[in-house]
């Protein structure tokens, strides 16, 4: 079948996420309320391996707003909150008792302590061996593009613990919004016993498709309502422990089709986890790539939308790149010329020499989709509308749902099946000219119609529904 061959052959993999740095790792801190089993605690930061090294002499420094950039700040203590607005800034052996906010680019923070850490509109940051000790009303680590693009951020060997919530606060161990490029490696987030204010140990927040290219490795996430929310493109999770969530490991509506890798992960008891539907469950350890990398995404398609996974398949299969403005326009009707292009590409863009004379009176050989439309005719998928003046394809007309059924049935090779004597749809009579194709759509599980039992054959098909039909074919 044309579309089945395409489904096997057309997946296009993107660039593989960068390799993570390895190394010898310390052991788990002794903290009764937050200590998982010994089998899963190796390779993580402890109170002895994070923060300002013992014996370091610190000099007081004023907080508030610090505009200095292009410099290194060492061996300082800041009491209270501080906001750094400069770029090309390094902090080493610095203790900040309150909330530390960075709004510049190219930030290095290492061997330091903060109550809470925010990277706002930061491009380029390395956070290493930092002890995040808690700041009233603030997340542990908050990374956002709110004040500008954020990305190319690596957080390693860092411990987030001791949440200090208020009656009205909302708490995430690590919250990520609008970030392109984040590595969390050997990071421990320990929230302890659940409190109503806790949301997640790791919250990749639903911001459309703004979060992308996230790697989580050799880490531990303990506590929260759920340990992880995953609203991001191209998420790789490996060698990581999830435990202690009030309701489970992964928030149920997380779009798991964007998790490209989930390997060698465990629960708090050391049981291997696998990705099953929209959950992390105990089972045989999964390895390797689960899904193709999405090089981009459509700004008008939320990852939580009904047909997001189908649209992702359309993109990775090379069937569509959307519009130049970065949109997919999911609610727009599919035109017949676009349908020809979609079917041709879904079939793998087969080698085809279009005829010098167009098979359709209204499609000149110079038409931008002439090859695809001519291929449709050559394969017998569409004969157009035959009139006394020739066959007309009507390329700019919207595709109806009944025509879509016919296109897909013919593209699949008109497979044999038991045609029901009673229609599966209340508005499609058995005498309908496309009844066989529509009944096949139902039999093959491509379309179940609407909740009221109708198929609505004359209604134009939207681009998002078309993506689902193609994906299921």
Q: Write the DSSP assignment of 250-281 as a string of letters.
A: E-TT--GGGEEEEES-EETTS-BEEEETTEEE
pLDDT at position 377 over 90: yes
Phi, psi of 267 (to 5 degrees): -95, -175
270 and 349 both lie in a single domain:
no
The SS3 assignment for 318 reads coil
Q: Give the tokens for residue 36.
A: 């998982």
pLDDT tens for 81-99 read: 999 999 999 999 999 999 9
Q: What percent of the chain has pLDDT over 90?
A: 76
Residue finishing a domain among 255, 282, 309:
282
Higher pLDDT residue, 41 or 251? 251
Quote the pLDDT of residue 290. Answer: 73
- Find the mean pLDDT for residues 101-114: 98
pLDDT at position 110 over 70: yes
| Measured distance CA(471)–CA(310) in Å, rounded | 6
Overall residue count recorded for the chain in this entry: 473
104 and 185 both lie in a single domain:
yes
Residue 10 lies in a domain: no
The mean of the pLDDT values for the chain is 88
Residue 20 lies in a domain: no
Check if the beta carbon of residue 275 is closer than 8 Å to that of residue 252: no
Quote the pLDDT of residue 286. Answer: 64
Quote the pLDDT of residue 38. Answer: 34
- Find the mean pLDDT for residues 303-313: 89
271 and 130 both lie in a single domain:
yes
Task: Give the pLDDT band of residue 289 (cuts 50, 70, 90).
Answer: low
Least confident of 5-14, 184-193, 409-418, 454-463: 5-14
**Domain extent for 43:** 32-282
227 and 256 both lie in a single domain:
yes
Quote the pLDDT of residue 39. Answer: 35
309 and 227 both lie in a single domain:
no
The SS3 assignment for 332 reads coil
311 and 362 both lie in a single domain:
yes
Residue 270 lies in a domain: yes
Task: Give the pLDDT band of residue 208 (cuts 50, 70, 90).
Answer: low
422 and 461 both lie in a single domain:
yes
- Find the mean pLDDT for residues 385-405: 92
Residue 438 lies in a domain: yes
Residue 246 lies in a domain: yes
Residue finishing a domain among 282, 310, 332:
282
Q: Which residues of 186-224 are buried (b: 16+ CB within 10 A; e: fewer)?
A: bbbbbbbeeeebbbbbbbbbbbebbbbbbbbbbbbbbbb
Residue 371 lies in a domain: yes
- Find the mean pLDDT for residues 196-206: 95
268 and 344 both lie in a single domain:
no
How many whole angstroms from its chain centre is CA 187? Answer: 21
Higher pLDDT residue, 307 or 389? 307
pLDDT at position 210 over 80: no
**Based on the structure, what is the number of domains in the chain?**
2
Least confident of 17-21, 41-45, 247-251, 265-269: 17-21
148 and 235 both lie in a single domain:
yes
The SS3 assignment for 39 reads helix
Q: What percent of the chain has pLDDT over 70?
A: 90
Check if the beta carbon of residue 346 is closer than 8 Å to that of residue 319: yes
pLDDT at position 27 over 70: no
Residue finishing a domain among 220, 249, 282:
282
pTM above 0.75, yes or no: yes
Residue 294 lies in a domain: no
78 and 199 both lie in a single domain:
yes
266 and 372 both lie in a single domain:
no
Quote the pLDDT of residue 2. Answer: 43
Q: Residue 441 half-sphere exposure, CB side, CA atoms within 13 Å?
A: 30
Residue 18 lies in a domain: no
383 and 264 both lie in a single domain:
no
| Measured distance CA(113)–CA(214) in Å, rounded | 24
Task: Give the pLDDT band of residue 299 (cuts 50, 70, 90).
Answer: confident
Quote the pLDDT of residue 42. Answer: 61
Check if the beta carbon of residue 110 is closer than 8 Å to that of residue 73: no
pLDDT at position 17 over 70: no
């Amino acid at each position: 079948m044309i579309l089945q061959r395409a489904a096997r052959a057309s997946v296009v993999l993107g660039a593989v996420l960068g390799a993570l740095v390895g190394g010898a790792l310390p052991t788990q801190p002794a903290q009764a309320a937050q200590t998982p089993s010994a089998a899963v605690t190796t390779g993580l930061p402890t109170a002895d391996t994070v923060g300002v090294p013992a014996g370091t002499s610190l000099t007081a420094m004023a907080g508030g707003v610090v505009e200095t950039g292009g410099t290194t700040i060492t061996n300082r203590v800041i009491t209270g909150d501080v906001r750094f607005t400069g770029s090309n800034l390094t902090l080493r052996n610095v203790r900040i008792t309150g909330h530390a906010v960075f709004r510049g680019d190219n930030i290095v923070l290492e061997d330091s302590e903060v109550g809470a850490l925010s990277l706002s509109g930061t491009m380029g940051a390395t956070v290493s061996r930092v002890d995040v000790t808690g700041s009233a009303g603030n997340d542990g680590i908050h990374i956002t593009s709110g004040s500008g693009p954020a990305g190319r951020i690596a957080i390693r060997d860092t411990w987030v613990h001791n949440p200090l919530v208020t009656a009205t606060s909302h708490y995430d161990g690590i919250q990520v919004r609008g970030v392109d490029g984040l590595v969390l490696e050997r990071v421990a987030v320990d929230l302890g016993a659940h409190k109503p204010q806790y949301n997640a140990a790791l919250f990749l927040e639903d911001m459309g498709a703004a979060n992308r290219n996230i790697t989580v490795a050799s880490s531990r996430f303990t506590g929260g309502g759920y340990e992880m929310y995953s609203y991001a493109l191209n998420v790789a999770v490996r060698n990581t422990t999830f435990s202690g969530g009030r309701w489970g490991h992964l928030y149920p509506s997380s779009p798991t089709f964007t998790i490209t890798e989930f390997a060698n992960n465990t629960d708090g008891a050391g049981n291997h986890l696998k990705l099953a539907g929209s959950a992390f469950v105990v089972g045989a350890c999964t390895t390797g790539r689960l899904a193709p990398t999405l090089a981009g995404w459509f700004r008008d398609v939320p990852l939580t939308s009904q047909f997001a996974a189908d649209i992702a398949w359309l993109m990775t299969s090379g069937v569509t790149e959307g519009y130049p403005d970065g949109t997919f326009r999911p609610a727009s009707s599919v035109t017949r010329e676009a349908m020809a292009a979609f079917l041709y590409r879904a079939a793998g863009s087969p080698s085809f020499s279009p005829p010098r004379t167009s098979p359709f009176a209204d499609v000149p050989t110079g038409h931008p989709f002439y090859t695809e439309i001519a291929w449709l005719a050559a394969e017998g998928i569409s004969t157009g509308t035959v009139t006394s003046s020739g066959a007309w394809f009507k390329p700019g007309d919207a595709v109806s749902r009944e025509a879509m059924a016919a296109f897909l049935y013919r593209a699949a090779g008109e497979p044999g099946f038991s045609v029901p004597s009673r229609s599966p749809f209340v508005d499609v009579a058995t005498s309908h000219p496309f009844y066989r194709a529509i009944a096949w759509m139902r039999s093959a599980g491509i379309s179940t119609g609407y909740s009221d039992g109708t198929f609505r054959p004359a209604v134009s098909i939207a681009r998002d529904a078309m993506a689902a039909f193609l994906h299921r074919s």
